[in-house]
Structure formats: C-alpha cells, structure tokens
Structure 1
Amino acid sequence: MLSEQNLTSPAPKGGAGCPPVGIQLEGIILPPVLTADVILGLLGNIVALWIFCFKLKNWNPNNLFLFNLVIADFLALVSLPLRIDALLRGHWVFGDVICRLNLFLMFSNRTASITLMTVVAVYRYFKVVHPHHRFNRMSKRQAALVAVFVWLLVISPRLPMLAYNHLKGSGNRTQCFFFTSYKEASSAIIFLVGMHRVLTVLEFIVPMTLLLFCSIRISCFLKGRQMGKPEKVSKAIRMCAAIAAVFLVCFLPTTVTTIGVWVIRSFRPWDCAAFYTFTQLTIVSLGLNFLNSALDPIVYIFSSSMFRKALLGALSPILVCRKDKSGGSESSSGAQSTSQHELKSQTENRGSKAM
C-alpha cells in the first residue's frame, strides 16, 4: 500500500510527480463485478447472436445496427477474462502485445456501444417522427456502410494505444495499465491519456444529448398524434427509457470520475491523494462500462419488433413442451386418482353385499 505521507506530499519539482498507481481498490471490487459481466454478457449475447444468425429471416437497417452492437459486446467479453486473471494474480503475465490488444478492445467497446446505441435511437426517431424522410429509405447496403463508418470512427482514436508499451513494473509487479501516474509516463503516453479523457467526456455528453432529444421528441409526437393507441406510445417510451437507463448506469460513473481526474490533474497537481483516489475510482467504474454487454439484450428486445418475434418464436416450442409435460402429469395423476376411487367404491359395494 502507498503510505499517506507519500500520497499527500507535494509533487517534487523538475517534472517528477505522484507515486505510481497500483492495484488496490480495483483488485477487490473488479474481479466479482467483471466475472458477473462476462457470465451475464455471454448468456445474453449468445442467445442474441443465435437469434440474429439463425432465426431472423428479414433484416432491416435497425437490426443490422443491433447486430454490430452484439459484435462490439463480444469484443469486450473476449478482453475481460485476461483482465480478471491479472486482478486475481495481482500482476500481468501475458506480455506487452496482449496488453496493448486488451486495452484497445476494452476502450473500443465503450465507444462502439455508445455510438451504436445512439445510431439505433436516431434511426427510431426518424422512423417515428419523420416517417417520410429519405433517411428511412436506407437500404441494407447503405446501413452496412453506416456501420463501417461507425467502426472507423470508433477505432481511429484508439489505434495509437497499440503503438505504445503500457506495462509498468517487472516480474510479479508487472501491471498492464492505461491510467498512470505523472512521473512514470512519457510525454506521448500523457498526451494519449489526455486525449482518452477528452473522448470519454465527449462521447458521453454528445450522445446523451441526442438520446434525450430523440426520447422527448418521440414521446411528444406519439402523445400528440396517437391518442387512440396508448400501447404504441408506451412501447416507444419504454424503448427510449431502456436505452437511456443502460446508458446512464453503464457510462455516467466513468464520465464523472474522469472529469474528477482531469480537474485534479489541471488545477491541483500537488494533491496526490485526490489524484490516486479518482484514478482508482475511474478504473473501478470500468466494471460498469462492461455491464452494458449484459444489458444490451434488453435494448434488442425493446428496439426491434422482429427480434422480439423471433425470440418468442424460438421460445414457444420450449414453453409448449413444458406445458404439455405439466398437463400430461396432471392428467396421469387425475386418471390414477380416479382409478383408485373406483377400486375403493367397488370394495365398499362388495362389503355391503356380504353384510
């Protein structure tokens, strides 16, 4: 553990800074949280992938965007087991190249999930509020091009992460961290971390603004035009609420802690205790980022009627089979009870005749 004296002492002059950030709080909190993320995320997204690949007969742009969201979730789920292993061991054993790829996949997933959820919300907005807009006549090929553009937008700012070594320490003290202390990082890494923090804030504020705008406009439009169909209004509101809820729960904490680190770094660089605390909380909040992989199947259900129908169609044979088994057992039990009752009656009649 870093001593309180080291954390609170002023940063030395000449470019030195706070002590290195090690595994402390995140080593306790993150392993169970990330393990739950992986288990729930795999269950939900394997079912979603099965529906998209084998049960969904007709594809539209909305389903194509949701399918790309599934791919983004799987990229995150692939990266998490290595991170869990490092947290449980207390150090990183997979080397420099895997460290770079792991960090790249982790942070790319956050951006991809945010961007694709925003695209889904905007697409639904045009469908409902501007049904005659040419945006609604988007072909599957055009939707695929939009998806490619989204991935390029997501990957481009993260590519520099692959160019630098993010390992700290050596031996059983080796850590694979993107967040770092002041003195242990090169100027290139410091710039990269700063750019990441700017992106973290912007990719929350801008999409959140769009999500709120789309949700409010859809609700107002449907309430004004569809007074005779309250179920349609409630369905659209539930879809918007589901996306907004997933967005806030998963991405707001990281944004808040990142702003905290940014403020400390800019205005209180001597306050190592505050810097250390906010950096630890930022790393811990990443566990909620990956919770979106488990919650995104809820978005699929609310956002795509075709997905809902395909899911219900896939589940109906299982439900019918269980109902038949339950009904069969009840019928068998009833028949057995009737037979026993008849046998008892016959025995009683014979006894009365003998008397």
Structure 2
Amino acid sequence: MALSTIPPILNITTPSSPIVDTGAGTTVGALILSLVFLLGFPGNLFIIWSVLARARKHSVTTLLILNLAIADGSLMALTPFFVIYLIMKTWVFGNVMCKLLFYLCLVNMYASIQLIMLMSIYRLVAVLWPRHVTLITGRKTVIWVLAVVWVLVMLASVPAMIFRKVRIQNNSSVCEPVHDDNRDVALQYMLELVFGFLIPYTVIVVSYICILRRLRQTKFRRRIRSEKLILAIVLTFCLFWLPYHLVNMVQVTWALCPKGQVKETLNLIWHKSRAVTSAVAFISSCANPVLYFFAGKSYIRREGLAFMARLFEGTALDSATRKSRQNSQNSREKDKEADAVMLKEKDQDSSSNAKPVNNSK
C-alpha cells in the first residue's frame, strides 16, 4: 500500500509523520515501558497470587484489588509489543493485532479507573452508613457488579478497535487511529476523557471529601491508615493518567478548531506528546504493587510471602461490617437483658400483688 493510495480525506485528521517518529520521545517511551514491564508484570502477578492463594477471606476490598491487579497485569503483558513498536518505529504485528492490542489497552485503562471508583464508593458507604454496608457485600452482588463493569468497559472500548488501522506512512507501517472526519476524532477522545477520567474522578473526589470529613468527626480515626493507602492509589492513578487526558483535550480541541496557526500548533503538541504521555500512563499499572509493598512492610517479618494478603485483609473495610454486626449483636444482647429484667420485675410485681389476695383468703 503506497502513501498516495490513502484517501485524501484521511489526511485531514492524520499528521504528516507517524507518532513513533519523534526521536527522543520514542526513546524515552521505550525506556519507560521497559522499566514498567520489569517492575509491574511480576508485581501484579504476585498480587493476584497473594489474593487467590494466601488471602483467608475474599472481602469486597480484596476482590476489587484482585480485579485491579488483573487489569494492570494484563496491561503490563502488552507492553513488550509497544516497546518493539517504539524501538523499530514501524508496526510489524499486522492489522488484527493493531486493533486488538489497542482495544485491550483501553479496556484495562477503563477497568482500572472504574474499579478505583467502585472502591471509593464502597468505602464511602462503609464509613458513612456502616450498618447498611452488609446489603452490598454479598458475594453474588459483588460478582454481578464486577461483571457489569467489565462488560461496560469492553463496550466503551469498541471505538479503539474500529478506528485503529495499519497504514503506510513515510515508508514505515504505523498503527494509528484513522478517522473519516474531525467529528470522529472528537467523539473517540471525548469518550475516553468523559468515561475514563471526568465521571469517575468526580465520583472519587466527592466520595473522599465525604470520607475524610467523616473520619475527622467520628471514632473511625484508627482506620485512617487504610484510607491513606486507597487515597494514594487514587492520586497515583490521577498523576500518571492526567498528562494522557490533557493530550486528549488538546487533540479534541485541534479537531474542532478551524484551520489556522492555532490548529497547526495544537496538532504539533498532541503529535509530539502522545508517545511519551501514553508510556507515562502505563506507570500507574506498576505503581500499585510498590504502594502495597511499602504499606505492608510491617507484615513481612511476621507473615513472609503472605504479607500482601494480610495487608489486604487489614485494609478491608469489612472491619466496619464486623463492627456493625458486633453492634447489632450487642444491641440484641442488651435487648435480651432488658427483656429479662422487665420479665423479672413483672414476676416480682405479680407475686407481690398476689400476696394480699392470699391473706384475704
């Protein structure tokens, strides 16, 4: 396929040189992805093993962390393909793999942020309404919610499979989005921006504002350490994905902007930044094992390889569930004691009232 055979309309929304042909940008991207793979892939596998083989109880938080590790680990498993792509500066895996790999990347990106959002919502309910948290902690309920999340993210990622194609550009094969017009560009990246960043992070920020306010007002202070761990996961994800979504904003603005100097400048910005910001976004998937390691290092001497599982059991807010059950059990015991006292007093009253009757006889 020669460059001249590409329909002219496609050149409207596609830069004149491939994204991987940016010199230092691709070199930095390849280095980042290599380090991310070496650290993140075995780290997430260890988390999955810890939950499945070492965790004594699969709580809601543990199941969410397991699914998050599966999403991150799957993303890490794809990084060697992109390292080769950045080093060779040409796509050698064919059109089907071009569509499939970028589709799976988007699926795991969506899944990660949606799972973190669910984690925040669950902790919000557990802190603000601990007596009602048992209503959403049933195993079937959690599995159904997780299944719905995975189905939704798979559907939301379909545009990546539709628009990605292998094309010949500057005598090299590139795997890039190919759009018929600028509206398709805006649609694809606005979907990523809204569903993958704005909505979940709005929910997360509101949830944690409410959680932290409640923690300062109540006796939940002893769980502030676990809140800090989950908050660190949220902030880390935001830190590494924010540049990627900023580039999405730039590309959407470029697509909707009329022709002129501004449009050319925006085109240059997103084109030069895409490879690096995408590589930086991958770091978030290897950051969680590092956070878990530092959070659970106090368990290492006592628990050995099971330290990660004990950390998850310790940070799970099922302690709130246990507390609510304890409170309800204590209240039932107090009610029983109160009933027993009332019955005893009633018996005493009836016996004392019965004595005059016997004397009269």
Q: Which residue of 2 aligns with 1:281?
A: 273
CA spacing shift, 1:14–1:292, aligned 2, 3 Å: closer
CA spacing shift, 1:91–1:302, aligned 2, 3 Å: same
SS at match of 1:20: coil
**1:242 maps to 2:238:** no
Contact in 1 for aligned 2:164/2:176 (Cα 8 Å): no
Query: How far off its partner does 1:65 sit?
Result: 1.6
CA spacing shift, 1:108–1:272, aligned 2, 3 Å: same
CA spacing shift, 1:170–1:213, aligned 2, 3 Å: closer
Query: How far off its partner does 1:19 sit?
Result: 4.0
CA RMSD between the two structures: 3.0
Contact in 2 for aligned 1:100/1:161 (Cα 8 Å): yes
Contact in 2 for aligned 1:114/1:207 (Cα 8 Å): yes
Q: How does 1:150-299 map to 2 (within 5 A)?
A: 150-163=149-162, 166-169=165-168, 173-178=172-177, 185-187=179-181, 192-202=184-194, 203-226=196-219, 230-233=221-224, 235-270=225-260, 271-297=263-289
Query: How far off its partner does 1:192 sit?
Result: 4.8
SS at match of 1:119: helix
CA distance in 2, matches of 1:177, 1:311: 49
AA partner of residue 263 (structure 1): T
Q: Which residue of 2 aligns with 1:72?
A: 71
Normalised by the size of structure 1, how large is the TM-score? 0.74
Contact in 2 for aligned 1:61/1:138 (Cα 8 Å): yes
Query: How far off its partner does 1:69 sit?
Result: 0.9
Per-residue CA deviation, residues 237-264 of structure 1 (Å, 9 max, x unaligned), is: 4134312321221211111121112112
Contact in 1 for aligned 2:72/2:112 (Cα 8 Å): yes
Per-residue CA deviation, residues 177-199 of structure 1 (Å, 9 max, x unaligned), is: 23x5xxxx434xx5554333112
CA distance in 2, matches of 1:53, 1:308: 21
Normalised by the size of structure 2, how large is the TM-score? 0.72
Q: How does 1:83-162 map to 2 (within 5 A)?
A: 83-133=82-132, 136-162=135-161
CA distance in 2, matches of 1:59, 1:302: 22
Query: How far off its partner does 1:171 sit?
Result: 9.8
CA spacing shift, 1:201–1:112, aligned 2, 3 Å: same
Gaps of 5+ in 1: 1-12, 318-355
SS at match of 2:246: helix
Q: Which residue of 2 aligns with 1:322?
A: none
CA spacing shift, 1:88–1:214, aligned 2, 3 Å: same
Residue correspondences, number = 293
CA distance in 2, matches of 1:240, 1:163: 35
SS at match of 1:93: coil
Query: How far off its partner does 1:21 sit?
Result: 3.7
Contact in 2 for aligned 1:127/1:136 (Cα 8 Å): no
Gaps of 5+ in 2: 1-7, 308-361
Contact in 2 for aligned 1:125/1:218 (Cα 8 Å): yes
Q: Which residue of 2 aligns with 1:335?
A: none
CA spacing shift, 1:220–1:152, aligned 2, 3 Å: same
Percent of pairs identical after alignment?
A: 21
Contact in 1 for aligned 2:15/2:267 (Cα 8 Å): no
Contact in 1 for aligned 2:126/2:133 (Cα 8 Å): no
Q: Which residue of 2 aligns with 1:20?
A: 16
Q: Which residue of 2 aligns with 1:29?
A: 28
AA partner of residue 128 (structure 1): V
CA spacing shift, 1:309–1:129, aligned 2, 3 Å: farther
Query: How far off its partner does 1:211 sit?
Result: 1.5
- Greater shift, 108-117 or 281-290, is seen at 281-290
SS at match of 1:91: coil
CA distance in 1, matches of 2:125, 2:229: 14
CA spacing shift, 1:15–1:252, aligned 2, 3 Å: closer
